Amino acid sequence: MADRSQQTFNSPISDLQQDGPSSGGNVTHNSGAIFPGASYVTVGPSSTFQQINIHEAERSKENTGPTAPAGFTAGMTDLTPVSPFFTGRKAILSELETYFIVESPSTEAHEKKIFVLHGMGGAGKTQTALKFMSTFRKRFTQCYMINANSEESIMASYYDIALKNGLGEFSNWEAGLRWLSQHEEEWIFLYDNADDPDLDLGKFLPQSNHASSPKC
């Protein structure tokens, strides 16, 4: 191999002589002025450039990140307003207050606090839970409403929580679940429409001891 330090390039680029187009549409140049000992330099489509373009395309695909889960809509975990026609349920509301507010909070008790509201459809379970959560909203760090109708809707809800807490659009639903598990604050979740007996809701609960959740 020639010692590059001993090579001198005396001719400017303007001294290059174009020999004319070669086959395939490429342009060949007299290259001796710049590359002594070289016969031709081909300017045109290159397999190397094509490979680089392919790699860039693949990189672009990677940067798009995970897609949003099916059924996701921004803000889907916001609490819906309590119906202006809601009334009664004072005994149940009192039980919820005693369990979640009067007794030791989950962060002090070091355990999850779960309260199940069950009954016929349309009996007012969701409205009762929403009434309690709206009344004591300031007592909790954050309140979330999880659509527990299916695994897909739960995943979509956790993805919304991930976005709400600044994890970015390239996060996935599991990032939202992990974030909640790692931050020891007093959350409260309403798992609404959790009426599928075949749904393993336990695997979707934050793995921590500081969350509270009424389910209905």
The domain locations on the chain are 12-63, 90-215
pTM of the model: 0.64
| Residue 208 pLDDT | 67
Residue with the bigger pLDDT between 12 and 73: it is 73
Domain 90-215 has CATH 3.40.50.300: yes
116/215 Cα distance (integer angstroms) = 5
Residue type, 34: I
Q: What is the pLDDT of residues 102-152, one digit of tens each?
A: 886 665 666 788 999 998 888 899 999 999 999 999 999 899 999 999 999
With b for 16 or more beta-carbon neighbours within 10 A and e for fewer, the 1-25 pattern comes to eeeeeeeeeeeeeeeeeeeeeeeee
Q: What is the mean pLDDT of residues 80-106?
A: 90
Residue with the bigger pLDDT between 111 and 36: it is 111
